[in-house]
Amino acid sequence: MEQKYIPKSSLKAWLAKVKDGGKQIYAPVTEGGKTSFRRVKSVDDISMEHVQTAQSAKGVAFPRTEKLFSYAMQPGGVALQDYDSANIPHTVVFGLHPCDAAAFKPLSGIFGWDTGDKPFGERMQRVTLVSLSCSKCDELCFCTSVDGSPGSAVGSDILLTAVGSEGYLVEIVTDRGRALTEPHAALFEAAPDVNKEELLAHVPVRFSVGAVERSLAGAFESDVWKQQSARCLGCGACAFVCPACACFDIQENPKGSASGDRIRCWDSCGFSLFTLHTSGHNPRSVQSQRWRQRLLHKFSYMPRRLSVRGCTGCGRCSRACPVDMNLWEHLSELENLKN
């Protein structure tokens, strides 16, 4: 992997040039005490100091709501206007952490298996991921327990790692990453001789994911789901903040009676309406069944069907949960489950 160094003083110049070159920058911005990914107007607005944004970066490829096509009633029929990819911006996602970059793999697994998903595919084609290694973490992070690390380059096109307070080690991972650095080579310097491990946060390994996944194979009928989910409100916040959750609803968004859009929007397997039949029958009628679905989907079904896990250990679900469900604690409990 090609390595370079960029002084802090040149970083903003680089991003400004990237932006002037026609790409949008989607990066963490702190507003009202909350750090979220935004399309930034000025690169001065980018926040680099947070542990984790409230929302992940997945919206760049899987927006919270997205138009799938439009319809219009006409004399003698209906006219459809197909999804239009012409206006999707070329975007550099800057400053996402390795757990968020890694999450595009499970998303791509879900949207790309069997048949392609045009809206997701078209957006992904226009995305370059410039990630930032974590020099800080908190007690809810557990990337190292799910094959990640605070300095993992997996999924990124470029990975930056802060070297002191003066600049960044730049690892150029893919051709897409190279296309972003090469035209501005003058801004980059030779990579310093540093031990990258020493520059990273220390995220303890909280559990053995292999043991968890082996336990889950026989855990469908276990009482553990009831115990763990007794306080879960079914609010769905965990799914909405998750970088790897992809469940969606398809809804009509009429604009008057004669035209409108078919849209899709984020949904959550934690909601009681998610699987409700019109007849009133619900295959997952209680919260414990929905909690079980969330964990089995991520740690059993996805590995089996798509060869990718649906969790990268970002800890967002635990931070967002109004009743303090701690995912890695729950997973640790499953590790020792006696079926």
Partner 1 sequence: MSDNIYLPYLVTIEKITQEAPGVRTLRLKFNDEALARSFEFKAGQFGEYSAFGEGESTFCIASSPTRKGYIECTFREAGRVTSALAKLEEGQTMGFRGPYGNTFPLDEWRGKNLLFVAGGIALPPMRCVIWNALDTRGSFGDVSILYGAKTVADLVYKHELKEWDERPDVRLVTTVDPGGETPEWKGEVGFVPAVLEKMNPSAENTIAIVCGPPVMIKFTFPVLDKLGFAPENIYTTLENRMKCGVGKCGRCNVGDKYVCKDGPVFSRAQLEALPAEF
Ligand X SMILES: Cc1cc2nc3c(=O)[nH]c(=O)nc-3n(C[C@H](O)[C@H](O)[C@H](O)COP(=O)(O)OP(=O)(O)OC[C@H]3O[C@@H](n4cnc5c(N)ncnc54)[C@H](O)[C@@H]3O)c2cc1C
Q: Which of partner 1, ligand SF4, ligand X, none is residue 230 near (CB under 5 to 8 Å by kind)?
A: none
Location of structure tokens 């002191």: 164
Q: Among residues 260, 308, 326, 329, which is the contact residue for partner 1, using CB under 8 A?
A: 260
Shortest distance (Å) from residue 72 CB to ligand X: 21
Which x/- pattern over 289-318 shows residues binding ligand SF4 (rule: CB under 6 A)? ----------------------xxxxxxx-
Which residue intervals of 58-208 are DSSP H helices? 98-102, 104-112, 118-125, 175-181
**CA distance to 6, 45, 283, 306, 337, per residue, from 213 (Å):** 41, 41, 24, 15, 11
Q: Among residues 166, 258, 323, 339, which is the contact residue for ligand SF4, using CB under 6 A?
A: 323
- For residues 171 and 158, is the Cβ–Cβ distance under 8 A? yes
User: For partner 1, which stretch binds (CB under 8 A), given 20-28, 189-197, 244-252, 329-337?
Assistant: 244-252
User: For partner 1, which stretch binds (CB under 8 A), given 41-49, 77-85, 97-105, 192-200?
Assistant: 77-85
Q: Which is nearer to ligand SF4, 264 or 316 (CB)?
A: 316
Return d(Cα 153, Cα 163) in angstroms, integer. Answer: 16
Q: Does 275 sit near partner 1 (CB under 8 A)?
A: yes
The 34-39 sheet, strands edge to edge:
34-39, 24-31, 91-96, 127-132, 158-163, 167-172, 2-7, 189-190
Return d(Cα 171, Cα 129) in angstroms, integer. Answer: 12
Q: Which is nearer to ligand X, 21 or 283 (CB)?
A: 283
Q: Does 278 sit near ligand X (CB under 6 A)?
A: yes
Q: Does 267 sit near partner 1 (CB under 8 A)?
A: yes
Q: Among residues 244, 247, 269, 334, which is the contact residue for ligand SF4, using CB under 6 A?
A: 244
The distance in angstroms from the start CA to the end CA of the chain is 44
Q: Which of ligand X, ligand SF4, partner 1, none is residue 233 near (CB under 5 to 8 Å by kind)?
A: ligand SF4
Q: Which is nearer to partner 1, 73 or 179 (CB)?
A: 73
Phi, psi of 53 (to 5 degrees): -75, 155
Question: Residue 59's closest CA among 233, 261, 260, 264?
Answer: 264
Q: Does 73 sit near partner 1 (CB under 8 A)?
A: yes
Residue 235: partners with Cβ closer than 8 Å, 6 or more residues away: 270, 322
Q: Which residues bind ligand SF4 (CB under 6 A)?
A: 232-238, 241-244, 270, 311-317, 320-323, 325, 327
